[in-house]
Amino acid sequence: MDPNVLHLIIAAALTVVGVVITALIWKSAQVKTVFWWIGLTMLPMSVYLAGLAPATAGAVTTLRLWWGTLTFTPIVWIGLVLGGLGTLLLLGSRLIPSESRADRKALPASPPRKPARGNGRPAKAVAPRPAAPAASGPQPAQGDDSDFDEIADLLRKRGIN
């Protein structure tokens, strides 16, 4: 069989598998996951159309030869362990949950919380400051009073005045 036809069949099969997986996860997965699968689906056919299929086949042959003649020295072991750890970190990072679409929608919908006071009374609302008039020189930095109010409430809650 002609190697070019074999490369086309392999690229088309891998692309079809990617399309099927992408279609199956389309509704239920996060946007970043769907985009990742779309990108992965495009790679096999892009390798074939760019003329890199023979180079890819050559790389597989080179890896097979390398593995067959590999001598496990301490330096090689260190390289393999570093490569394995790097691969585990790359793949494991995909398992870390990120915020979902529902989380992003729920965030603005939730009402802002007021810090609770230790004596059972609701905390006083802080009046907004009027805007400072524009001056020609640099202005000194002013802290946010709401941060200090939260700290004061926490100290009062602990009985520290």
Q: Do residues 70 and 16 touch, judged by C-beta distance below 8 A? A: no
Residue owning tokens 């390289």 = 79
Segment 44-90, tens digit of pLDDT: 999 999 999 999 999 999 999 999 999 999 999 999 999 999 999 88
Per-residue DSSP letter, 51:
T
More confident of the two residues 134 and 105 = 105
Give phi and psi for 72, each to the nearest 5. -85, 95
Give the pLDDT band of residue 153 (cuts 50, 70, 90).
Answer: confident
**Burial of 141: CB neighbours in 10 Å, binned 0-12, 13-18, 19+:** exposed
Dig out the tokens for 4 from the structure.
């070019």
Other Cβ atoms less than 10 A from the Cβ of 16: the count is 13
Segment 99-131, tens digit of pLDDT: 666 776 776 665 556 555 555 555 555 555 555
More confident of the two residues 150 and 78 = 78
> Domain ranges in the chain?
1-51
pLDDT at 1: 83
Segment 25-51, tens digit of pLDDT: 998 988 888 898 999 999 999 999 999
pLDDT at 29: 87
d(CA 18, CA 36): 11
pLDDT at 139: 52
